[in-house]
Structure 1
């Protein structure tokens, strides 16, 4: 116990008086210290890291359900020596999808066989649950239990069914659960507890939105998760800007949805009215085949989608996007993006556009709404469409709820248990120094830059969108400016990809960060130190750039200091990466990287036990098993112990009276 001086006790008396209301006696304070010191010795709980989900809700949900294979491993460890493989392959998907699997099993088993199956299955699930609860305090486990079965589950998990005096008691509980028709409900609830205790905390390192079919379903899942954080990705910030009413972000979010024929996320997911855009596109581009605007991945889409109409809507919103982006650039000369004003670089008579001083032939010269005298001005009909889209985004209750959640749980970066988490990059110069940004006369770099940009991103959403210029323009800056830590390239060549066939113009040069961080432990250490982390134990964990595994690229960089875990969750990237995503787990034994093959379907998992095929790679093994004492929570607990020991000393030395 600490030895406190009278000066220390006198100086902290007001705080200690407040603390004494929660711990009114020496005994209560000592009891809490004993509890906290014991918790410090428990094994560190498991963290789960995912990134670049891009709306792939089914694959994402399955990885959440199976804990990147942790559930299967736990079942095999606990029951593998006593239960047949056939029964285990039935039990594992039951934990993942209890309702659906129970429906299937009840069709197969009847009467006495079903009763016996229920009792045996509950017994096995309790054993698995007991194993997952082993690294937590009884109090924490009890808080994780559902109210309907809290007492019963607590008894089953904490008691040993082999203990002679409790054997019949234990069996009677399980028998009664089945007899009174609550077995289904119990199995569903205990499966949820198993999954909750297997993964203590979830990290999402950006890019929930765009490309995939259902980012809104991913957001719904995250909002019900028991413990998580997220670091904003560039595609998230785009939707955050759209929800804030920024026209360029709205147009770009709609364009990407059109590019992947993903109208469901707009219309069904968030109630965005697409009829005005469809009507305008059909009227304005009715005779234009819009061949270069045919959506990607058509084979994966519903056959009822009108590809011709989507292509016209795609072109219409693309032109609108380029115009409103140029309006932002004009409003903000400090963004230094004049070279991206390519609508005004079009020469319709010659059929060319000038990029970086070179005139290139346009592959499409049908621009019926382009005013050569004022290229960035929306036509009257475009203005009408844009106004209605803005209204839809701003008044989508579900979108606003999701974005507020992203602000509440999210940030540009996070330090957590010696690891630095961010989506893309920390801006660096060619010589490895932290790049600078001047904002209102003050210069920012490194951690200070990330903190400032985080603050400005919040201000951009929560302040009045009708200001001039609107602060939500900054969210568009974060989407595509070369100084943005979420972008990481010198330009976004969207215009060139649509309208210039010369592919040399399509190249988007990466910022120096990528070359510097690839092999340099020194740069990684420098970044970790900048954010207050010890480079001996710390790691940088991020995503954003898909790792081309099939080409031999590795997600482990800078001597193991940097882990880039974007392996292609989005189907659009899987041909490039060769896999269907990476995930990372970090438990008391160390870090494990898991690469996943494509997810077949929920039905295949339930009916045939077809899990995602995953490959483990041990990134780092701890020299000793880490405990709670080695975590951020451990630091907080030690602070609490210090305060409580000071309170105990104040009681014993007469500075504070016991409240009894």
Structure 2
């Protein structure tokens, strides 16, 4: 045995100092390998829809209902199952309603506790006792463990469990115990959560979603372009700051910045009222479902226009500074004839719907006015120094990445840039050219440099690449030939609004291309898939999210209300459990209040993507591979003890 190996085994011996301890650990790990695979839950393009997101998280995309059906079958009515499911999702709120309706509250507590214990037993059965124990709420950990664990030493089990439940009710702890059981079921029904990007923008609750994810037990995030632009704002990249504020204004979500993150927008409001006081700003109307009173709406539209003009100026400066981005054609302010109120694009002249630009100097259109500079500086300071925002961005850095390979599934938000013939497109990133996996890897490196690089030049490159990822035709998270923000505001002609998608989207049904992508990212073996977000699937028009015979799953179905008229549904989610993959197409979520009072769940059409004949075990997962490696190392440690190379320590 070489010295390096022996040194490694000596380190292991510090953890397992005897043959007995090493042997016990092998037995424990081997037992885990034979447990059923944990349930994975995939969500994407949440876009600030906190209530719908929270509900889907609580019900595990139908996993809770499936557990209830498995446990009770035909022995419980459909209505009682709905009531039990609602109680699991919203235990405290549901009990407040039930207390007003139930005459025999003690009997209801007793029946409910027995039912929840049975669901809890089923949910916990696929995990080790150690893992379940870690998930138990501290106040009731011992009692819950007693109730959900088989005790062979108890002769009269029924009497034993009944006495525990009787005591819980008698001492007035039934409600808190019900809440603890319900939250434990929510916690155990999903083993790991995947978020495939775009947590931010459009909806009003992005900050609340991030708060919830901060405390989630097992999570990974694949960044979306909307997440990346917020990351850019958090590190003070000026174009990203302006973009984030503009999108919040466009969807009447400035409350996210002011109330959610404590960012002071008074300087922008004051500036907007000064320079756009008599401007109706009709091109800057609110989108989405948020409503404002007339005074608020007028101010919102003025702020919306003010920050948009600032954004276009800042982007023009960036594109001239970063010629290597190859996007000089998207600097549009010097294409405007300010006297005629027209703009020339691709040799064609268009009339602008809004020709009031009080802060633009036609001779130097990208220069910020003194007041605009002050607004930008104060906004940047507020973003960079917002503790809560920085904490949320650190979560994105810690749990996030450009892509993820997990249990032979390749997860990413956008696309793999392709040429028209289906080959990987070469993209220039600063002074080098990359494609495929290398492109994703180098972009991720620069994202992290924006936050942690010591070299200021590299840090600035990282900051600017965040904007590049947000809007460049070469960005795999954007995947279109242009971001037609200016055209959509100022031009009536829809031909100018068109954003052509990368060739990737032409090959969604080409199995050879899917195989090439999987091979490029070294995802091999049987039962491999690409799971993809970003572009909504038009369910209402008959489009299927399942492509390439099941190898590619596009699970953005319109979580955002802004897309639901277009898609016909309120999003897809994916469940991958020990029996296979289930894709759920959700109907729009009304409200948590309706879910509690009317016991209305999100109605979902489940599509079976893949079912296995034999239940998949932990041993067949990525975690299983690591456990097998650990077992092999422990077996080497045992051999070293038995060959006299290492001495046991008492």
Q: Same fold (TM over 0.5)?
A: yes
Q: CA deviation at 1:357?
A: 2.8
Contact 2:50 2:209 in 1 (8 A): yes
Q: 1:401 aligns with which of 388, 391, 401?
A: 391
Contact 1:593 1:617 in 2 (8 A): yes
Q: How does 1:351-370 map to 2 (within 5 A)?
A: 351-370=341-360
Q: 1:378 aligns with which of 354, 368, 375?
A: 368
- Structure 2 equivalent of residue 153 of structure 1: 144
Q: Distance in 1 between matches of 2:63 and 2:578?
A: 14
Q: Tell me the SS of whatever aligns to 1:80.
A: helix
Q: Structure 2 regions of 5+ residues with no counterpart?
A: none
Q: 1:641 aligns with which of 612, 631, 648?
A: 631
Q: Distance in 2 between matches of 1:580 and 1:198?
A: 22
Contact 1:205 1:233 in 2 (8 A): yes
Q: Deviations over 1:535-593 (max 9, x none)?
A: 63211101100111111111111221110100000000000000011000001111110
Contact 2:47 2:198 in 1 (8 A): yes
Q: CA deviation at 1:85?
A: 3.3
**How has the CA–CA distance of structure 1 residues 11 and 162 changed in structure 2, closer, same or farther, with 3 Å as cutoff?**
closer
**How has the CA–CA distance of structure 1 residues 117 and 577 changed in structure 2, closer, same or farther, with 3 Å as cutoff?**
same
Contact 1:331 1:469 in 2 (8 A): no
**How has the CA–CA distance of structure 1 residues 464 and 316 changed in structure 2, closer, same or farther, with 3 Å as cutoff?**
farther
Q: CA deviation at 1:303?
A: 4.0
Q: Deviations over 1:356-383 (max 9, x none)?
A: 2322221111111111111100111111
Q: Distance in 1 between matches of 2:159 and 2:110?
A: 14
Q: Distance in 1 between matches of 2:453 and 2:210?
A: 24
Contact 2:324 2:430 in 1 (8 A): no
Q: Distance in 2 between matches of 1:161 and 1:294?
A: 68
Q: 1:166 aligns with which of 144, 147, 157?
A: 157
Q: 1:242 aligns with which of 225, 229, 233?
A: 233
Q: How does 1:311-460 map to 2 (within 5 A)?
A: 311-439=301-429, 441-460=431-450
Which deviates further from its counterpart, 620-629 or 306-315?
Answer: 620-629
Q: CA deviation at 1:239?
A: 0.4
Q: 2:109 aligns with which of 118, 123, 128?
A: 118
Q: Tell me the SS of whatever aligns to 1:488.
A: coil
Q: Tell me the SS of whatever aligns to 1:424.
A: coil
Q: Distance in 1 between matches of 2:208 and 2:48?
A: 8
- Structure 2 equivalent of residue 4 of structure 1: none
- Structure 1 equivalent of residue 85 of structure 2: 92
- 1:31 and 2:24 correspond: yes
- 1:189 and 2:180 correspond: yes
Q: Distance in 1 between matches of 2:365 and 2:294?
A: 36
Which deviates further from its counterpart, 330-339 or 455-464?
Answer: 455-464
- Structure 1 equivalent of residue 642 of structure 2: 652
**How has the CA–CA distance of structure 1 residues 69 and 304 changed in structure 2, closer, same or farther, with 3 Å as cutoff?**
farther
- Structure 2 equivalent of residue 44 of structure 1: 37
Q: 1:101 aligns with which of 61, 86, 94?
A: 94
Q: Distance in 2 between matches of 1:141 and 1:169?
A: 22
Contact 1:241 1:461 in 2 (8 A): no
Contact 1:244 1:465 in 2 (8 A): no
Contact 2:325 2:429 in 1 (8 A): no
- 1:70 and 2:63 correspond: yes
Q: Structure 1 regions of 5+ residues with no counterpart?
A: 1-6
- Structure 1 equivalent of residue 612 of structure 2: 622
Q: How does 1:200-599 map to 2 (within 5 A)?
A: 200-297=191-288, 300-303=290-293, 306-439=296-429, 441-463=431-453, 471-516=462-507, 518-534=508-524, 536-599=526-589
- Structure 2 equivalent of residue 14 of structure 1: 7
Contact 2:448 2:462 in 1 (8 A): no
Q: CA deviation at 1:218?
A: 0.5
Q: Deviations over 1:43-90 (max 9, x none)?
A: 111000000000000000000001111101211221233333333222
- Structure 2 equivalent of residue 3 of structure 1: none
Q: Tell me the SS of whatever aligns to 2:121.
A: helix
- Structure 2 equivalent of residue 55 of structure 1: 48
Contact 1:43 1:628 in 2 (8 A): yes
- Structure 1 equivalent of residue 119 of structure 2: 128
Q: Distance in 2 between matches of 1:464 and 1:138?
A: 45
Q: Distance in 2 between matches of 1:185 and 1:249?
A: 45
Q: Distance in 1 between matches of 2:80 and 2:488?
A: 53
Q: CA deviation at 1:216?
A: 0.4
Contact 2:319 2:327 in 1 (8 A): yes
Q: Tell me the SS of whatever aligns to 1:609.
A: coil
Q: Distance in 2 between matches of 1:217 and 1:367?
A: 36
What TM-score do you get using the length of structure 1 for normalisation? 0.96
Q: 2:169 aligns with which of 169, 172, 178?
A: 178
Q: Distance in 1 between matches of 2:604 and 2:571?
A: 10
Q: Distance in 2 between matches of 1:443 and 1:493?
A: 26
CA RMSD of aligned residues (A): 1.7
Which deviates further from its counterpart, 273-282 or 49-58?
Answer: 273-282
Q: Tell me the SS of whatever aligns to 1:58.
A: helix
Contact 1:525 1:535 in 2 (8 A): no
Contact 1:245 1:465 in 2 (8 A): no
Q: Distance in 1 between matches of 2:432 and 2:45?
A: 33
What TM-score do you get using the length of structure 2 for normalisation? 0.97
Q: CA deviation at 1:603?
A: 1.3
Q: Tell me the SS of whatever aligns to 2:638.
A: helix
Q: How does 1:132-147 map to 2 (within 5 A)?
A: 132-147=123-138
Q: Deviations over 1:390-416 (max 9, x none)?
A: 111111111111011111100000000
Paired residues, number:
649
**How has the CA–CA distance of structure 1 residues 162 and 89 changed in structure 2, closer, same or farther, with 3 Å as cutoff?**
farther
Q: Distance in 2 between matches of 1:32 and 1:161?
A: 24
Q: CA deviation at 1:162?
A: 13
Q: CA deviation at 1:614?
A: 0.6
Which deviates further from its counterpart, 275-284 or 203-212?
Answer: 275-284
Contact 2:341 2:351 in 1 (8 A): yes
Q: Distance in 2 between matches of 1:399 and 1:581?
A: 27
Q: Distance in 1 between matches of 2:460 and 2:39?
A: 45
Contact 1:528 1:535 in 2 (8 A): no
